[in-house]
């Protein structure tokens, strides 16, 4: 039987599809038949899901890019990147930060009881949105954010909302982060191109591309049911709390979890908290906390 392990140790709340058994197991009957015409047995699979905040590893700067030469085989077969996505990436990366919570947040490395993830600026007051499970994994310890230019700031926790897995941080005005525009609620469409931006595995400023695979996907994160945006943009540990943006550079959701099979990595099924819920929760937290 497959073991629900995710990417190494479980990170953040588990995701369980409502269509699976209560223990998180599902099955499918593959179309192939064994020799002799007998259909092979049921293949038990586990959608082991981890909210994707990395628990260990120091941050490393730089955008992940292809190393293939201009005339190599990959270049010959690759489709050109739409210009609007390039522009959206250029506009988004300066407003995205790495979030370090817990024991190692101020010491330059992560330790047991610490966690790393991503976040992004939403206003000129330097409020940042991130995932609550990052702070929870950090055990309520100090929170530090690292900017795209490498500067670090101690962050104030303005408020947390575990049920929605959202939290709001604030850094000093001297950080000068560029706030990201938010998409209008209800404007996101299935099939539209999106970018996931964050610090997967500590690689700050990483951009991955995909599409919106589904809307209003009912998933369970921890003990709470969520209506999520599903995407096939590659999301990995450390992307938690980072933005999912459309081709106009508008945030359509906050990257929160991935589905895995038998503990493998990203399989092109990721989930983001929809922007309407994000905005409502963030406004409430900021209104209460300042």
Residues 210, 231: Cα–Cα separation, whole Å: 7
Contacts of 21 (CB under 8 A, 6+ apart): none
User: Residue holding tokens 């007998």?
Assistant: 38
Dihedral angle sign, alpha carbons of residues 79, 82, 83, 85 = negative
Residues 190, 213: Cα–Cα separation, whole Å: 6
Length of the chain, in residues? 290
- Consecutive H or E run containing 122: none
Residues 253, 242: Cα–Cα separation, whole Å: 9
Structure tokens at 169: 């941080």
The set of long-range contacts for 18-24, using a CB threshold of 8 Å and a minimum separation of 24, is 18/218, 18/219, 18/220, 18/225, 20/47, 24/48
CA end-to-end span of the chain: 49
- Consecutive H or E run containing 197: strand 193-198
Task: Give backbone dihedrals phi and psi of 285, rounded to 5 degrees, phi first.
Answer: -65, -45
- Consecutive H or E run containing 9: none
Residues 271, 217: Cα–Cα separation, whole Å: 8
Enumerate the active-site residues: 133, 165, 240
């Amino acid at each position: 039987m497959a073991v629900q392990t995710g990417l190494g140790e479980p990170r953040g709340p588990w995701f369980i599809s409502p269509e699976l058994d209560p223990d998180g197991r599902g099955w499918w009957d593959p179309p192939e038949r064994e020799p002799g015409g007998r259909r092979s047995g049921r293949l038990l699979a586990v959608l082991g899901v981890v909210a994707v905040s990395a628990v260990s590893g120091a941050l490393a700067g730089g955008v992940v890019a292809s190393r293939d030469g201009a005339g190599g085989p990959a270049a010959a077969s690759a489709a050109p990147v739409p210009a609007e996505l390039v522009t959206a990436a250029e506009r988004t990366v300066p407003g995205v930060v790495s979030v370090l919570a817990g024991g190692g947040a101020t010491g330059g490395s992560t330790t047991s009881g610490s966690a790393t993830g991503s976040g992004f600026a939403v206003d000129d007051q330097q409020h940042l949105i991130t995932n609550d499970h990052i702070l929870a994994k950090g055990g309520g310890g100090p929170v530090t954010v690292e900017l795209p230019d490498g500067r670090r700031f101690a962050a104030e926790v303005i408020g947390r909302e575990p049920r929605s897995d959202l939290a709001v941080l604030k850094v000093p005005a001297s950080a000068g982060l560029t706030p990201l525009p938010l998409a209008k609620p209800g404007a996101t469409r299935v099939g539209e191109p999106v970018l996931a931006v964050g610090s997967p595995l500590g690689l700050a400023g990483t951009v991955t591309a995909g599409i919106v695979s589904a809307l209003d996907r009912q998933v369970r994160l921890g003990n709470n049911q969520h209506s999520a945006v599903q995407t096939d943009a590659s999301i990995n540990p450390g992307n938690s709390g980072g933005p999912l943006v459309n081709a106009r550079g508008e945030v359509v959701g906050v990257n929160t979890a991935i589905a895995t099979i038998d503990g493998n990595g990203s399989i092109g099924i990721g989930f983001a908290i929809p922007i309407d819920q994000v905005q409502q929760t963030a406004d409430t937290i900021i209104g209460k906390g300042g």
